[in-house]
Chains A and B, each alone.
Chain A
């Protein structure tokens, strides 16, 4: 279900939805650190994580690795240096 939904998103929608989900996960994570017995919050966290994982896989399939050091695979040639960083690229993109 999540995989189907991910494939239908435009590149901008996919990135924005991932930012929203990662923030929801982060916020719920902090809440659970001080409320580890809250079942509802834990269900929310796990639901967000499942959707984020599906979108993450779709992002990597389209663009290449989103995370470094073994979290995501790369196609040839090494894609990590080509996918844009979030801040201005002074020298322009690599050829």
Chain B
């Protein structure tokens, strides 16, 4: 089971609204390479993942991704809370406001709703861990694109932290892949 800790993983202090920045950051909430996709990819794959190490890393990183979803949601909320509906519309969030008001929705930066086809789940740990490593790189690149678009240092600090976590996760998944390839791979040779 899970329990909730009423604290963010890192502090988020936003002082001025920026709905245009909120719109692009939305993809890390409910987009293809966002935190929701990451969390449920790992937590779903963990059921048939062999070895305690594999199950532990998927559960632990999946849990951290849920905390990142909370951070991305908090970022978006703080960037839109003092903006008027017209401000949202001017920033390209008119459709979002019409359908969801100021609340969050699992969608990407263009409003495309989330789908479980964003990730796969097999009982082959080598296949899953390769997907997981690629997923971390896709998320890292997305955060770098968001950093290019951010003109708010307080937002960039949070995005840079989240980018760095993708690098760490990639490393841990790589180590898990090495371990699994040596001991448990269904096919010994995977190029």
Contact = CB atoms under 8 A, between A and B. Distances in A.
A3 interface: no
Contacts of B70: 86-87
Interface string A64-95: 01111111000000000001111110100000
Contacts of B4: 67-69
Given A34-B175, A90-B102, A67 B5 contact: yes
Interface size class of A (residues with CB under 8 A): 20 to 34
B169 to A, nearest CB: 8
Closest 7 CB pairs between A and B? A34-B175, A87-B74, A86-B8, A33-B56, A33-B57, A88-B81, A68-B4
Contact of B5 (A22, A33, A36, A84): A22
Nearest to B55: A33
Interface of B: 1, 3-12, 53, 56-57, 60-61, 64, 70, 73-74, 77-78, 81, 102, 168-169, 172, 175-176, 179
Given A86-B6, A87-B77, A88-B77, A30 B176 contact: no
Contacts of B175: 34-35
A67 B172 contact: no
B102 A19 contact: no
Given A19-B10, A31-B172, 5 more contacts: A23-B9, A30-B172, A36-B53, A65-B6, A86-B6
A31 B123 CA distance: 24
Interface string A12-53: 000110110011001101110111100000000000000000
